[in-house]
Each structure stands twice: as structure tokens, then as C-alpha cells.
Amino acid sequence: GCKDIDDALHVRRLGPGRTEVGVHIADVTHFVAPGNACDEEARFRGTSVYLVQRRIDMLPSLLTTDLCSLVGNKDRLAFSSVWVLDDDANILDVRFHKSVIRSVAAMTYGKAQEMIDDKGDES
């Protein structure tokens, strides 16, 4: 499975007509100070590159697969964007903040869509 998990999502029903949706991105800034050698190298690389036979990471694997990876059942630092929506998907509130998250499931986009579709069949 994937070890460098850098994003997570959550959906929570807050009550009648209100649903919270959160997007969480691994907070690398806690471990990499602006302007240090790791930051400068990451800026130079710009992104991780995925080739057929290998991968060239933007950041050291200690960060991407261990300290910053949003692996399941461990508290991890993140930067979060959280929206509160009404039943028509109108945005009622938006928050951006640093957070500590604990992922409870890892799934593919296909599996997530399956769960969403199955939930829709229950109505």
C-alpha cells in the first residue's frame, strides 16, 4: 500500500441540514523550516516525479513515509480546510487551520465513490 499519504478527507453530519466536509494536507512545515536546505531543495524540485521504474521525491522519505504521512490510527499534524454545507451544498462556513488528525481508513478513490453511491441508495 501507499506509505506517503499526504491527504485525508472527512465528512460528518452535524444535524438536520448541516454537513461538515474537511480536507486535510500533511503539515510538512512543522518539520521543515523556511529557507533551510531541505526547503530550498524542495523548492528547486517543485514536485515528486513518478517514472515507470522509479520515483524522485521532492522531500526526504523520512518525512514523506514516516513523520508526515497521514497513516491510520496515529495522530498526525495537518493543515485543514473545513466547510459546513447545507443540504443543497451551499457553503455556510469555511475554516482554515493547523490541526492534529487521526485517519481511520485508507481507501482508493474508487472505493470512496462506491461508499458514496451506496449511501445514496439508502434514501
For residues 70, 111, 48, 99, the Cα torsion angle rounded to the nearest 10 degrees is -30
Question: Can you tell me the distance from the alpha carbon of 117 to that of 123, in angstroms, rounded to the nearest whole number?
Answer: 11
Residue 102 scores a pLDDT above 70: yes
Most confident of 58-62, 69-73, 83-87: 83-87
Q: What percent of the chain has pLDDT over 70?
A: 93
What are 63-72's pLDDT values in tens digits?
A: 988 899 998 8
Mean pLDDT in the chain?
Answer: 90
Question: Can you tell me the distance from the alpha carbon of 83 to that of 18, in angstroms, rounded to the nearest whole number?
Answer: 10
Mean per-residue pLDDT for 39-44? 94
Question: Can you tell me the distance from the alpha carbon of 90 to that of 86, in angstroms, rounded to the nearest whole number?
Answer: 5
Residue 109 scores a pLDDT above 70: yes
pLDDT the model gives residue 120:
58
pLDDT the model gives residue 1:
56
Q: Which residue has the cell 475554516?
A: 95
- Quote the pTM value: 0.80
Residue 55 scores a pLDDT above 90: no
